[in-house]
Structure 1
Protein backbone atom coordinates (compact mmCIF):
# COMPACT_ATOMS: atom_id res chain seq x y z
CA UNK A 1 0.00 0.00 0.00
CA UNK A 2 1.16 3.51 -0.80
CA UNK A 3 -0.46 6.71 0.45
CA UNK A 4 0.48 9.90 -1.38
CA UNK A 5 -0.25 13.45 -0.17
CA UNK A 6 -3.54 12.39 1.40
CA UNK A 7 -5.75 14.96 3.08
CA UNK A 8 -8.84 13.60 4.84
CA UNK A 9 -11.88 15.29 6.31
CA UNK A 10 -15.52 16.18 5.81
CA UNK A 11 -17.22 18.77 3.58
CA UNK A 12 -13.85 20.08 2.35
CA UNK A 13 -12.72 20.69 5.95
CA UNK A 14 -9.33 19.01 6.41
CA UNK A 15 -8.97 16.92 9.59
CA UNK A 16 -5.77 15.02 8.74
CA UNK A 17 -3.29 16.47 6.27
CA UNK A 18 -0.36 15.54 4.07
CA UNK A 19 -0.10 11.84 4.83
CA UNK A 20 2.68 10.09 2.92
CA UNK A 21 3.29 6.48 3.77
CA UNK A 22 4.50 3.27 2.18
CA UNK A 23 3.34 0.12 3.91
CA UNK A 24 5.02 -3.21 3.31
CA UNK A 25 3.31 -6.57 3.02
CA UNK A 26 2.61 -8.03 6.46
CA UNK A 27 3.41 -4.82 8.32
CA UNK A 28 1.41 -3.77 11.38
CA UNK A 29 0.77 -0.03 11.59
CA UNK A 30 -1.02 1.40 14.63
CA UNK A 31 -2.58 4.87 14.69
CA UNK A 32 -2.28 6.64 18.05
CA UNK A 33 -3.21 10.12 19.16
CA UNK A 34 -5.72 12.17 21.16
CA UNK A 35 -9.46 11.75 20.84
CA UNK A 36 -10.91 13.68 17.93
CA UNK A 37 -7.54 13.90 16.20
CA UNK A 38 -8.75 12.13 13.07
CA UNK A 39 -7.73 8.48 13.46
CA UNK A 40 -11.13 7.15 12.36
CA UNK A 41 -11.33 9.71 9.57
CA UNK A 42 -7.95 8.64 8.22
CA UNK A 43 -8.83 4.93 8.39
CA UNK A 44 -12.09 5.55 6.51
CA UNK A 45 -10.18 7.47 3.84
CA UNK A 46 -7.54 4.75 3.51
CA UNK A 47 -10.24 2.08 3.10
CA UNK A 48 -12.18 4.12 0.54
CA UNK A 49 -15.24 4.42 2.78
CA UNK A 50 -14.73 8.19 2.91
CA UNK A 51 -13.79 10.19 -0.17
CA UNK A 52 -10.44 11.91 0.26
CA UNK A 53 -10.19 15.69 -0.04
CA UNK A 54 -6.95 15.24 -1.94
CA UNK A 55 -4.27 12.62 -2.45
CA UNK A 56 -4.33 8.98 -3.46
CA UNK A 57 -4.25 5.54 -1.87
CA UNK A 58 -2.68 2.80 -3.99
CA UNK A 59 -3.03 -0.95 -3.50
CA UNK A 60 -0.08 -2.17 -5.50
CA UNK A 61 -0.17 0.11 -8.53
CA UNK A 62 -3.94 0.55 -8.54
CA UNK A 63 -5.72 3.66 -7.33
CA UNK A 64 -8.19 2.37 -4.72
CA UNK A 65 -10.92 4.57 -6.25
CA UNK A 66 -10.68 2.67 -9.52
CA UNK A 67 -10.93 -0.84 -8.04
CA UNK A 68 -14.47 -2.33 -8.41
CA UNK A 69 -16.15 -2.67 -5.01
CA UNK A 70 -16.42 -6.47 -5.20
CA UNK A 71 -12.74 -6.80 -6.08
CA UNK A 72 -11.76 -4.33 -3.38
CA UNK A 73 -13.69 -6.33 -0.77
CA UNK A 74 -11.57 -9.36 -1.70
CA UNK A 75 -8.41 -7.37 -1.02
CA UNK A 76 -9.47 -5.38 2.04
CA UNK A 77 -11.72 -5.96 5.05
CA UNK A 78 -12.78 -3.42 7.65
CA UNK A 79 -13.77 -3.44 11.33
CA UNK A 80 -15.47 -0.16 12.27
CA UNK A 81 -16.59 1.20 15.62
CA UNK A 82 -20.15 1.44 14.27
CA UNK A 83 -22.27 -1.41 15.64
CA UNK A 84 -24.12 -3.46 13.03
CA UNK A 85 -27.66 -4.60 13.91
CA UNK A 86 -28.49 -7.62 11.77
CA UNK A 87 -31.94 -9.09 12.20
CA UNK A 88 -32.47 -12.81 12.78
CA UNK A 89 -28.81 -13.69 12.20
CA UNK A 90 -26.64 -15.95 14.33
CA UNK A 91 -23.02 -15.10 15.08
CA UNK A 92 -22.01 -17.66 12.43
CA UNK A 93 -24.28 -15.98 9.87
CA UNK A 94 -22.54 -12.67 10.54
CA UNK A 95 -19.10 -14.25 10.13
CA UNK A 96 -20.19 -16.04 6.95
CA UNK A 97 -21.29 -12.68 5.52
CA UNK A 98 -17.58 -11.97 5.13
CA UNK A 99 -17.64 -14.43 2.21
CA UNK A 100 -20.21 -12.47 0.18
CA UNK A 101 -17.54 -11.18 -2.25
CA UNK A 102 -16.81 -14.82 -3.14
CA UNK A 103 -20.43 -15.99 -3.40
CA UNK A 104 -22.24 -16.65 -6.69
CA UNK A 105 -24.66 -14.31 -8.42
CA UNK A 106 -27.48 -15.43 -6.12
CA UNK A 107 -25.47 -14.86 -2.94
CA UNK A 108 -25.15 -18.60 -2.30
CA UNK A 109 -22.23 -19.81 -0.23
CA UNK A 110 -20.07 -22.81 -1.08
CA UNK A 111 -18.75 -25.42 1.31
CA UNK A 112 -15.33 -23.73 1.17
CA UNK A 113 -16.99 -20.48 2.27
CA UNK A 114 -18.47 -22.24 5.29
CA UNK A 115 -15.12 -23.83 6.09
CA UNK A 116 -13.49 -20.38 5.98
CA UNK A 117 -16.16 -19.05 8.35
CA UNK A 118 -15.63 -21.98 10.73
CA UNK A 119 -11.89 -21.36 10.69
CA UNK A 120 -12.40 -17.66 11.49
CA UNK A 121 -14.74 -18.57 14.37
CA UNK A 122 -12.14 -20.93 15.81
CA UNK A 123 -9.40 -18.35 15.40
CA UNK A 124 -11.38 -15.76 17.36
CA UNK A 125 -12.63 -18.44 19.79
CA UNK A 126 -16.32 -17.80 19.23
CA UNK A 127 -17.29 -21.31 18.10
CA UNK A 128 -19.07 -22.01 21.38
CA UNK A 129 -21.66 -19.31 20.73
CA UNK A 130 -21.68 -19.20 16.92
CA UNK A 131 -25.27 -20.47 16.81
CA UNK A 132 -26.56 -17.81 19.21
CA UNK A 133 -28.45 -14.83 17.87
CA UNK A 134 -26.04 -11.97 17.22
CA UNK A 135 -28.38 -9.54 18.99
CA UNK A 136 -28.20 -11.67 22.17
CA UNK A 137 -24.41 -11.52 22.40
CA UNK A 138 -22.48 -9.33 24.81
CA UNK A 139 -20.61 -6.34 23.38
CA UNK A 140 -17.32 -8.21 23.66
CA UNK A 141 -18.72 -11.26 21.89
CA UNK A 142 -20.12 -9.04 19.13
CA UNK A 143 -16.73 -7.40 18.66
CA UNK A 144 -14.96 -10.76 18.34
CA UNK A 145 -17.63 -11.87 15.86
CA UNK A 146 -17.13 -8.78 13.69
CA UNK A 147 -13.36 -9.29 13.71
CA UNK A 148 -13.94 -12.92 12.69
CA UNK A 149 -16.12 -11.68 9.82
CA UNK A 150 -13.30 -9.42 8.60
CA UNK A 151 -10.78 -12.26 8.83
CA UNK A 152 -13.20 -14.54 6.98
CA UNK A 153 -12.88 -12.26 3.94
CA UNK A 154 -9.32 -13.53 3.54
CA UNK A 155 -8.01 -9.99 2.98
CA UNK A 156 -4.59 -8.73 1.98
CA UNK A 157 -5.28 -5.60 4.03
CA UNK A 158 -7.10 -5.54 7.37
CA UNK A 159 -8.28 -2.10 8.52
CA UNK A 160 -9.54 -1.90 12.12
CA UNK A 161 -10.79 1.04 14.14
CA UNK A 162 -10.29 0.37 17.86
CA UNK A 163 -10.50 -3.43 17.55
CA UNK A 164 -9.89 -3.91 21.29
CA UNK A 165 -13.09 -2.03 22.20
CA UNK A 166 -15.33 -4.05 24.54
CA UNK A 167 -12.69 -6.80 24.92
CA UNK A 168 -11.49 -7.86 28.35
CA UNK A 169 -7.78 -8.16 29.03
CA UNK A 170 -7.59 -11.87 28.15
CA UNK A 171 -9.29 -11.42 24.77
CA UNK A 172 -7.18 -8.35 24.03
CA UNK A 173 -4.02 -10.40 24.27
CA UNK A 174 -5.56 -13.22 22.29
CA UNK A 175 -6.40 -10.68 19.58
CA UNK A 176 -2.78 -9.50 19.54
CA UNK A 177 -1.70 -13.09 18.94
CA UNK A 178 -4.19 -13.37 16.06
CA UNK A 179 -2.94 -10.11 14.53
CA UNK A 180 0.65 -11.21 14.83
CA UNK A 181 -0.22 -14.52 13.14
CA UNK A 182 -1.99 -12.75 10.28
CA UNK A 183 0.99 -10.45 9.85
CA UNK A 184 3.33 -13.44 9.61
CA UNK A 185 1.06 -14.82 6.88
CA UNK A 186 1.49 -11.60 4.89
CA UNK A 187 -1.68 -9.74 5.87
CA UNK A 188 -1.06 -6.00 6.26
CA UNK A 189 -2.81 -4.58 9.34
CA UNK A 190 -3.60 -0.90 9.87
CA UNK A 191 -5.53 -0.09 13.04
CA UNK A 192 -6.17 2.55 15.66
CA UNK A 193 -5.47 1.79 19.31
CA UNK A 194 -6.02 3.73 22.51
CA UNK A 195 -3.96 1.34 24.64
CA UNK A 196 -0.41 2.62 24.23
CA UNK A 197 1.16 -0.45 25.79
CA UNK A 198 -0.58 -2.68 23.24
CA UNK A 199 0.39 -0.42 20.34
CA UNK A 200 4.02 -0.43 21.46
CA UNK A 201 3.98 -4.19 21.86
CA UNK A 202 2.46 -5.30 18.55
CA UNK A 203 3.30 -2.59 16.00
CA UNK A 204 6.14 -2.44 13.53
CA UNK A 205 5.50 1.30 13.21
CA UNK A 206 3.27 3.89 14.84
CA UNK A 207 1.41 6.62 12.99
CA UNK A 208 1.17 9.61 15.32
CA UNK A 209 -1.86 11.82 14.58
CA UNK A 210 -1.83 15.21 16.28
CA UNK A 211 -4.58 17.67 17.11
CA UNK A 212 -3.44 20.02 14.37
CA UNK A 213 -3.90 17.30 11.74
CA UNK A 214 -0.19 16.67 11.16
CA UNK A 215 1.05 13.10 10.97
CA UNK A 216 4.41 11.40 11.50
CA UNK A 217 5.52 7.78 11.43
CA UNK A 218 8.13 6.20 13.72
CA UNK A 219 9.03 2.82 15.14
CA UNK A 220 8.05 2.16 18.80
CA UNK A 221 11.61 2.48 20.08
CA UNK A 222 12.05 5.93 18.60
CA UNK A 223 8.67 7.06 19.96
CA UNK A 224 9.77 6.14 23.48
CA UNK A 225 13.34 7.37 23.24
CA UNK A 226 12.37 10.81 21.95
CA UNK A 227 9.44 11.27 24.32
CA UNK A 228 6.99 11.79 21.45
CA UNK A 229 4.03 10.59 23.50
CA UNK A 230 4.26 13.59 25.84
CA UNK A 231 3.91 16.11 23.02
CA UNK A 232 1.38 14.00 21.14
CA UNK A 233 -1.10 14.04 24.02
CA UNK A 234 -0.09 17.42 25.48
CA UNK A 235 0.88 15.93 28.84
CA UNK A 236 2.32 17.77 31.81
CA UNK A 237 5.70 16.61 33.15
CA UNK A 238 4.01 14.93 36.12
CA UNK A 239 1.51 13.15 33.94
CA UNK A 240 4.18 11.96 31.53
CA UNK A 241 6.28 10.53 34.38
CA UNK A 242 3.27 8.49 35.47
CA UNK A 243 2.73 7.27 31.91
CA UNK A 244 6.40 6.31 31.61
CA UNK A 245 6.11 4.14 34.70
CA UNK A 246 2.94 2.56 33.36
CA UNK A 247 4.67 1.79 30.05
CA UNK A 248 7.73 0.41 31.83
CA UNK A 249 10.11 2.99 30.39
CA UNK A 250 13.21 2.43 32.49
CA UNK A 251 16.90 2.23 31.86
CA UNK A 252 16.61 -0.73 29.51
CA UNK A 253 12.97 -0.57 28.39
CA UNK A 254 13.65 1.56 25.35
CA UNK A 255 16.55 -0.69 24.38
CA UNK A 256 14.24 -3.72 24.40
CA UNK A 257 11.71 -1.94 22.20
CA UNK A 258 14.14 -0.35 19.77
CA UNK A 259 15.74 -3.50 18.37
CA UNK A 260 15.80 -3.02 14.65
CA UNK A 261 15.08 -5.38 11.80
CA UNK A 262 17.60 -3.41 9.77
CA UNK A 263 17.24 -0.46 7.50
CA UNK A 264 14.77 -1.18 4.74
CA UNK A 265 14.40 1.99 2.75
CA UNK A 266 12.16 2.30 -0.23
CA UNK A 267 11.47 5.46 -2.17
CA UNK A 268 10.99 8.44 0.14
CA UNK A 269 12.60 8.54 3.55
CA UNK A 270 9.33 7.61 5.23
CA UNK A 271 9.80 3.92 5.96
CA UNK A 272 11.18 3.53 9.46
CA UNK A 273 12.78 0.36 10.78
CA UNK A 274 10.72 -2.02 12.89
CA UNK A 275 11.60 -4.69 15.43
CA UNK A 276 12.59 -8.27 14.97
CA UNK A 277 9.48 -10.41 15.06
CA UNK A 278 11.36 -12.94 17.23
CA UNK A 279 12.57 -10.41 19.81
CA UNK A 280 10.97 -10.59 23.29
CA UNK A 281 7.66 -8.74 23.48
CA UNK A 282 5.83 -7.99 26.67
CA UNK A 283 3.18 -5.67 27.93
CA UNK A 284 4.08 -3.28 30.72
CA UNK A 285 0.58 -3.90 32.05
CA UNK A 286 1.95 -7.22 33.32
CA UNK A 287 5.56 -6.25 33.95
CA UNK A 288 6.86 -3.68 36.43
CA UNK A 289 10.60 -3.19 35.99
CA UNK A 290 10.55 -0.39 38.55
CA UNK A 291 9.81 -2.90 41.33
CA UNK A 292 12.72 -3.23 43.78
CA UNK A 293 12.39 -7.04 43.60
CA UNK A 294 12.52 -7.26 39.79
CA UNK A 295 13.41 -9.79 38.51
CA UNK A 296 11.98 -12.09 41.17
CA UNK A 297 11.34 -15.17 39.04
CA UNK A 298 13.02 -17.30 36.38
CA UNK A 299 10.06 -17.12 34.00
CA UNK A 300 10.81 -15.57 30.61
CA UNK A 301 10.15 -11.82 30.63
CA UNK A 302 7.56 -11.87 27.84
CA UNK A 303 5.52 -14.43 29.81
CA UNK A 304 5.78 -12.82 33.23
CA UNK A 305 2.85 -11.33 35.14
CA UNK A 306 3.42 -8.91 38.00
CA UNK A 307 -0.36 -8.99 38.48
CA UNK A 308 0.23 -12.06 40.62
CA UNK A 309 3.00 -10.68 42.79
CA UNK A 310 0.71 -11.17 45.77
CA UNK A 311 -0.17 -14.67 44.67
CA UNK A 312 -3.95 -15.26 44.67
CA UNK A 313 -3.28 -18.95 45.34
CA UNK A 314 -1.10 -18.34 48.39
CA UNK A 315 -3.30 -20.36 50.76
CA UNK A 316 -4.00 -23.27 48.39
CA UNK A 317 -2.25 -26.56 49.04
CA UNK A 318 -2.01 -27.36 45.34
CA UNK A 319 -0.67 -23.96 44.26
CA UNK A 320 2.11 -25.75 42.37
CA UNK A 321 5.41 -25.08 44.13
CA UNK A 322 7.43 -23.81 47.06
CA UNK A 323 7.75 -20.21 48.11
CA UNK A 324 8.86 -17.75 50.75
CA UNK A 325 7.59 -14.33 51.79
CA UNK A 326 9.52 -11.11 51.29
CA UNK A 327 9.95 -8.54 54.07
CA UNK A 328 7.00 -6.65 52.57
CA UNK A 329 4.79 -9.70 52.66
CA UNK A 330 4.89 -10.55 48.97
CA UNK A 331 4.76 -14.22 48.16
CA UNK A 332 8.01 -15.06 46.36
CA UNK A 333 7.53 -18.30 44.42
CA UNK A 334 10.70 -20.32 43.95
CA UNK A 335 9.95 -23.12 41.50
CA UNK A 336 6.38 -22.52 40.36
CA UNK A 337 5.48 -20.63 37.22
CA UNK A 338 1.77 -21.41 37.41
CA UNK A 339 0.40 -18.14 38.86
CA UNK A 340 3.11 -15.95 37.31
CA UNK A 341 2.77 -17.12 33.71
CA UNK A 342 0.32 -14.70 32.10
CA UNK A 343 -0.99 -17.45 29.80
CA UNK A 344 -2.22 -19.27 32.91
CA UNK A 345 -4.53 -16.38 33.83
CA UNK A 346 -7.75 -18.30 32.96
CA UNK A 347 -6.59 -21.30 34.97
CA UNK A 348 -5.84 -19.10 37.99
CA UNK A 349 -9.32 -17.58 37.78
CA UNK A 350 -10.79 -21.08 37.57
CA UNK A 351 -8.96 -22.14 40.73
CA UNK A 352 -10.12 -19.02 42.54
CA UNK A 353 -13.73 -19.74 41.57
CA UNK A 354 -13.35 -23.33 42.82
CA UNK A 355 -11.96 -21.96 46.06
CA UNK A 356 -14.91 -19.59 46.47
CA UNK A 357 -17.80 -21.72 45.19
CA UNK A 358 -16.51 -25.28 45.11
CA UNK A 359 -15.77 -27.47 42.09
CA UNK A 360 -19.43 -28.01 41.33
Structure 2
Protein backbone atom coordinates (compact mmCIF):
# COMPACT_ATOMS: atom_id res chain seq x y z
CA UNK A 1 0.00 0.00 0.00
CA UNK A 2 1.32 3.44 -0.97
CA UNK A 3 0.07 6.74 0.47
CA UNK A 4 1.19 9.97 -1.18
CA UNK A 5 0.61 13.64 -0.31
CA UNK A 6 -2.38 12.82 1.88
CA UNK A 7 -4.16 15.76 3.50
CA UNK A 8 -7.37 15.78 5.51
CA UNK A 9 -9.01 18.35 7.76
CA UNK A 10 -12.12 18.36 9.94
CA UNK A 11 -12.05 22.15 9.69
CA UNK A 12 -10.91 24.45 6.92
CA UNK A 13 -8.20 26.20 8.95
CA UNK A 14 -5.43 23.58 8.98
CA UNK A 15 -4.92 19.90 8.07
CA UNK A 16 -5.57 17.28 10.73
CA UNK A 17 -3.66 14.69 8.69
CA UNK A 18 -0.63 15.64 6.58
CA UNK A 19 1.41 12.71 5.21
CA UNK A 20 3.90 13.25 2.39
CA UNK A 21 4.67 9.59 1.75
CA UNK A 22 4.04 6.28 3.50
CA UNK A 23 4.52 2.72 2.32
CA UNK A 24 2.87 -0.15 4.20
CA UNK A 25 4.47 -3.53 3.58
CA UNK A 26 2.35 -6.35 2.21
CA UNK A 27 2.01 -9.57 4.16
CA UNK A 28 3.06 -7.89 7.43
CA UNK A 29 1.40 -6.73 10.64
CA UNK A 30 1.76 -2.95 10.85
CA UNK A 31 0.63 -1.12 13.98
CA UNK A 32 -0.09 2.60 14.19
CA UNK A 33 0.78 4.09 17.58
CA UNK A 34 0.68 7.58 19.05
CA UNK A 35 -1.06 9.69 21.71
CA UNK A 36 -4.80 10.28 21.80
CA UNK A 37 -6.00 12.65 19.10
CA UNK A 38 -2.91 12.28 16.91
CA UNK A 39 -4.87 10.92 13.93
CA UNK A 40 -4.42 7.14 14.18
CA UNK A 41 -8.08 6.18 13.75
CA UNK A 42 -8.59 8.99 11.24
CA UNK A 43 -5.79 7.61 9.06
CA UNK A 44 -7.39 4.15 9.20
CA UNK A 45 -10.77 5.65 8.22
CA UNK A 46 -9.15 7.48 5.30
CA UNK A 47 -7.57 4.25 4.05
CA UNK A 48 -10.98 2.53 4.34
CA UNK A 49 -12.60 5.45 2.46
CA UNK A 50 -14.88 6.14 5.39
CA UNK A 51 -13.67 9.75 5.25
CA UNK A 52 -12.91 11.84 2.15
CA UNK A 53 -9.44 13.37 2.06
CA UNK A 54 -8.79 16.89 0.81
CA UNK A 55 -5.86 15.84 -1.37
CA UNK A 56 -3.58 12.90 -2.00
CA UNK A 57 -3.69 9.34 -3.25
CA UNK A 58 -3.84 5.88 -1.70
CA UNK A 59 -2.86 2.90 -3.85
CA UNK A 60 -3.49 -0.79 -3.30
CA UNK A 61 -1.92 -3.09 -5.87
CA UNK A 62 -1.23 0.00 -8.01
CA UNK A 63 -4.91 0.95 -8.02
CA UNK A 64 -6.08 4.31 -6.72
CA UNK A 65 -8.71 3.21 -4.22
CA UNK A 66 -10.69 6.45 -4.48
CA UNK A 67 -11.69 5.32 -7.98
CA UNK A 68 -13.08 1.98 -6.86
CA UNK A 69 -16.76 1.31 -6.22
CA UNK A 70 -17.84 0.32 -2.72
CA UNK A 71 -18.12 -3.32 -3.75
CA UNK A 72 -14.74 -3.29 -5.52
CA UNK A 73 -13.11 -1.75 -2.44
CA UNK A 74 -14.81 -4.31 -0.16
CA UNK A 75 -13.07 -7.05 -2.13
CA UNK A 76 -9.68 -5.48 -1.38
CA UNK A 77 -9.91 -4.40 2.26
CA UNK A 78 -12.07 -4.96 5.32
CA UNK A 79 -12.22 -2.94 8.53
CA UNK A 80 -13.23 -3.87 12.08
CA UNK A 81 -13.87 -1.10 14.59
CA UNK A 82 -13.43 -1.15 18.37
CA UNK A 83 -17.23 -1.11 18.70
CA UNK A 84 -19.48 -2.81 16.15
CA UNK A 85 -23.24 -3.22 16.06
CA UNK A 86 -25.52 -5.91 14.71
CA UNK A 87 -28.94 -7.33 15.70
CA UNK A 88 -28.52 -9.21 18.98
CA UNK A 89 -30.53 -12.16 17.67
CA UNK A 90 -27.91 -12.79 14.97
CA UNK A 91 -25.82 -15.89 15.42
CA UNK A 92 -22.11 -15.82 14.62
CA UNK A 93 -22.86 -17.56 11.34
CA UNK A 94 -25.57 -15.00 10.47
CA UNK A 95 -23.06 -12.21 11.07
CA UNK A 96 -20.29 -13.80 9.02
CA UNK A 97 -22.67 -14.25 6.08
CA UNK A 98 -22.89 -10.45 5.83
CA UNK A 99 -19.25 -10.44 4.75
CA UNK A 100 -20.22 -12.00 1.43
CA UNK A 101 -22.22 -8.97 0.26
CA UNK A 102 -19.55 -7.77 -2.24
CA UNK A 103 -19.94 -11.03 -4.17
CA UNK A 104 -23.71 -11.43 -4.11
CA UNK A 105 -26.09 -10.22 -6.77
CA UNK A 106 -29.33 -8.89 -5.41
CA UNK A 107 -31.09 -11.25 -3.01
CA UNK A 108 -29.67 -14.41 -4.54
CA UNK A 109 -29.00 -17.28 -2.15
CA UNK A 110 -25.47 -18.05 -1.04
CA UNK A 111 -23.33 -19.86 -3.59
CA UNK A 112 -20.98 -22.75 -2.92
CA UNK A 113 -18.08 -20.26 -2.95
CA UNK A 114 -19.89 -18.12 -0.38
CA UNK A 115 -20.44 -21.08 1.94
CA UNK A 116 -16.80 -22.14 1.62
CA UNK A 117 -15.60 -18.62 2.48
CA UNK A 118 -17.94 -18.45 5.49
CA UNK A 119 -16.81 -21.84 6.81
CA UNK A 120 -13.14 -20.89 6.38
CA UNK A 121 -13.57 -17.55 8.18
CA UNK A 122 -15.30 -19.22 11.12
CA UNK A 123 -12.60 -21.89 11.31
CA UNK A 124 -9.69 -19.43 11.13
CA UNK A 125 -11.11 -17.44 14.05
CA UNK A 126 -11.70 -20.55 16.16
CA UNK A 127 -15.48 -20.15 16.28
CA UNK A 128 -16.70 -23.43 14.77
CA UNK A 129 -18.16 -24.72 18.06
CA UNK A 130 -19.85 -21.36 18.74
CA UNK A 131 -21.16 -20.50 15.28
CA UNK A 132 -24.83 -21.07 16.18
CA UNK A 133 -24.70 -18.95 19.34
CA UNK A 134 -26.32 -15.54 19.32
CA UNK A 135 -24.16 -12.43 19.62
CA UNK A 136 -25.92 -11.49 22.87
CA UNK A 137 -24.58 -14.69 24.46
CA UNK A 138 -20.91 -14.08 23.61
CA UNK A 139 -18.05 -12.68 25.65
CA UNK A 140 -16.36 -9.52 24.43
CA UNK A 141 -13.46 -11.48 22.96
CA UNK A 142 -15.74 -13.94 21.19
CA UNK A 143 -17.82 -11.13 19.78
CA UNK A 144 -14.73 -9.34 18.45
CA UNK A 145 -13.55 -12.57 16.82
CA UNK A 146 -16.96 -12.88 15.17
CA UNK A 147 -16.53 -9.44 13.60
CA UNK A 148 -13.05 -10.39 12.43
CA UNK A 149 -14.61 -13.52 10.88
CA UNK A 150 -17.09 -11.30 9.03
CA UNK A 151 -14.16 -9.32 7.64
CA UNK A 152 -12.37 -12.53 6.63
CA UNK A 153 -15.45 -13.70 4.73
CA UNK A 154 -14.88 -10.72 2.42
CA UNK A 155 -11.71 -12.52 1.25
CA UNK A 156 -9.60 -9.39 1.15
CA UNK A 157 -5.83 -9.01 1.18
CA UNK A 158 -5.97 -6.14 3.69
CA UNK A 159 -7.52 -6.23 7.16
CA UNK A 160 -7.81 -2.96 9.11
CA UNK A 161 -8.42 -3.07 12.87
CA UNK A 162 -9.19 0.04 14.89
CA UNK A 163 -8.19 -0.60 18.51
CA UNK A 164 -9.37 -4.24 18.45
CA UNK A 165 -8.48 -4.86 22.11
CA UNK A 166 -10.24 -1.82 23.63
CA UNK A 167 -12.80 -2.67 26.37
CA UNK A 168 -11.41 -6.22 26.70
CA UNK A 169 -9.70 -7.69 29.76
CA UNK A 170 -6.09 -8.89 29.44
CA UNK A 171 -7.04 -12.50 28.65
CA UNK A 172 -9.31 -11.48 25.79
CA UNK A 173 -6.84 -8.87 24.53
CA UNK A 174 -4.21 -11.54 23.97
CA UNK A 175 -6.85 -13.90 22.57
CA UNK A 176 -7.63 -11.34 19.86
CA UNK A 177 -3.96 -10.51 19.18
CA UNK A 178 -3.07 -14.21 18.89
CA UNK A 179 -5.95 -14.60 16.42
CA UNK A 180 -4.66 -11.64 14.38
CA UNK A 181 -1.14 -13.06 14.35
CA UNK A 182 -2.47 -16.43 13.18
CA UNK A 183 -4.40 -14.79 10.35
CA UNK A 184 -1.29 -12.99 9.19
CA UNK A 185 0.76 -16.18 9.14
CA UNK A 186 -1.83 -18.67 7.89
CA UNK A 187 -3.76 -16.48 5.46
CA UNK A 188 -0.85 -14.17 4.51
CA UNK A 189 -3.04 -11.13 5.22
CA UNK A 190 -1.68 -7.62 5.36
CA UNK A 191 -2.90 -6.30 8.70
CA UNK A 192 -2.95 -2.65 9.72
CA UNK A 193 -4.11 -1.96 13.25
CA UNK A 194 -4.26 0.82 15.80
CA UNK A 195 -3.08 -0.07 19.32
CA UNK A 196 -2.57 1.92 22.51
CA UNK A 197 -0.48 -0.66 24.36
CA UNK A 198 3.18 -0.19 23.32
CA UNK A 199 4.24 -3.58 24.69
CA UNK A 200 1.60 -5.28 22.57
CA UNK A 201 2.82 -3.30 19.56
CA UNK A 202 6.36 -4.53 20.30
CA UNK A 203 5.23 -8.14 20.60
CA UNK A 204 2.79 -8.47 17.70
CA UNK A 205 4.01 -6.06 15.01
CA UNK A 206 6.43 -6.51 12.13
CA UNK A 207 6.45 -2.75 11.67
CA UNK A 208 5.14 0.27 13.54
CA UNK A 209 4.08 3.72 12.39
CA UNK A 210 4.54 6.43 15.02
CA UNK A 211 2.17 9.39 14.67
CA UNK A 212 1.99 12.77 16.36
CA UNK A 213 -0.27 15.70 15.49
CA UNK A 214 -1.41 14.14 12.22
CA UNK A 215 2.06 13.41 10.90
CA UNK A 216 4.29 10.36 10.62
CA UNK A 217 7.20 10.78 13.01
CA UNK A 218 8.92 7.48 12.32
CA UNK A 219 8.20 4.03 10.87
CA UNK A 220 9.96 0.69 10.67
CA UNK A 221 10.66 -2.39 12.79
CA UNK A 222 9.57 -1.90 16.42
CA UNK A 223 12.98 -2.72 17.91
CA UNK A 224 14.60 -0.09 15.70
CA UNK A 225 11.86 2.54 15.68
CA UNK A 226 10.72 2.61 19.31
CA UNK A 227 13.37 4.10 21.58
CA UNK A 228 13.20 5.49 25.09
CA UNK A 229 13.85 8.97 23.71
CA UNK A 230 11.11 8.72 21.07
CA UNK A 231 8.53 7.46 23.58
CA UNK A 232 9.35 10.30 25.97
CA UNK A 233 9.09 12.84 23.15
CA UNK A 234 5.76 11.50 21.87
CA UNK A 235 3.99 10.45 25.08
CA UNK A 236 5.77 12.62 27.63
CA UNK A 237 6.75 9.75 29.94
CA UNK A 238 10.05 8.22 30.97
CA UNK A 239 10.40 4.53 30.17
CA UNK A 240 13.04 1.84 30.25
CA UNK A 241 13.22 -0.70 27.42
CA UNK A 242 14.55 -4.04 28.64
CA UNK A 243 15.37 -7.27 26.82
CA UNK A 244 14.44 -10.66 28.25
CA UNK A 245 16.24 -13.97 27.89
CA UNK A 246 14.44 -14.73 24.61
CA UNK A 247 15.50 -11.37 23.13
CA UNK A 248 11.98 -9.93 23.42
CA UNK A 249 11.86 -6.25 24.30
CA UNK A 250 9.52 -4.74 26.89
CA UNK A 251 8.69 -1.17 27.82
CA UNK A 252 8.59 -0.34 31.53
CA UNK A 253 7.16 3.06 32.55
CA UNK A 254 9.27 4.77 35.22
CA UNK A 255 7.72 6.58 38.16
CA UNK A 256 8.17 10.33 38.10
Give the structure-2-normalised TM-score.
Answer: 0.86
In structure 2, the residue matched to 1:120 is 121
Which digits, 9 at most, give the CA deviation of each residue in 1:147-189, with x for residues without a partner?
1111221111111101122444344334333333333343211
Is 2:199 the counterpart of 1:197? yes
- Structure 1, unmatched stretches of 5+, are 257-279, 289-360
Distance verdict in 2 for CA 1:108–1:202, change over 3 Å: same
Which structure carries more relative contact order (alpha carbon 8 Å, separation 6+)?
Answer: 2
Q: CA deviation at 1:90?
A: 1.4
Distance verdict in 2 for CA 1:137–1:9, change over 3 Å: farther
Q: CA deviation at 1:283?
A: 7.3
- Structure 2, unmatched stretches of 5+, are none
Q: Which protein is bigger by CA-based radius of gyration?
A: 1
Question: May I ask how many residue pairs the two structures share in their alignment?
Answer: 249
Is 2:79 the counterpart of 1:96? no
Distance verdict in 2 for CA 1:174–1:135, change over 3 Å: closer
In structure 2, the residue matched to 1:55 is 56
Q: CA deviation at 1:282?
A: 4.9
Q: Distance in 2 between matches of 1:100 and 1:45?
A: 22
Structure having the higher strand fraction is: 2
In structure 1, the residue matched to 2:2 is 2
In structure 1, the residue matched to 2:36 is 35
Distance verdict in 2 for CA 1:174–1:138, change over 3 Å: closer
Contact 1:8 1:42 in 2 (8 A): no
Q: Distance in 2 between matches of 1:23 and 1:65?
A: 17
Distance verdict in 2 for CA 1:139–1:171, change over 3 Å: closer
Task: Quote the RMSD (CA, aligned, Å).
Answer: 2.5
Contact 1:206 1:219 in 2 (8 A): yes
Distance verdict in 2 for CA 1:92–1:48, change over 3 Å: same
Contact 2:140 2:172 in 1 (8 A): no
SS in structure 2 at match of 1:119: helix
The 5 Å alignment of 1:157-168 reads 157-168=158-169
Deviating beyond 6 angstroms after TM superposition, the runs of 4 or more aligned structure 1 residues are: none
Q: Distance in 2 between matches of 1:281 and 1:127?
A: 35
Contact 1:143 1:167 in 2 (8 A): no
Distance verdict in 2 for CA 1:139–1:176, change over 3 Å: closer
Which digits, 9 at most, give the CA deviation of each residue in 1:268-321, with x for residues without a partner?
xxxxxxxxxxxx675749xx9xxxxxxxxxxxxxxxxxxxxxxxxxxxxxxxxx
Q: Distance in 2 between matches of 1:119 and 1:194?
A: 30
Contact 1:143 1:165 in 2 (8 A): no
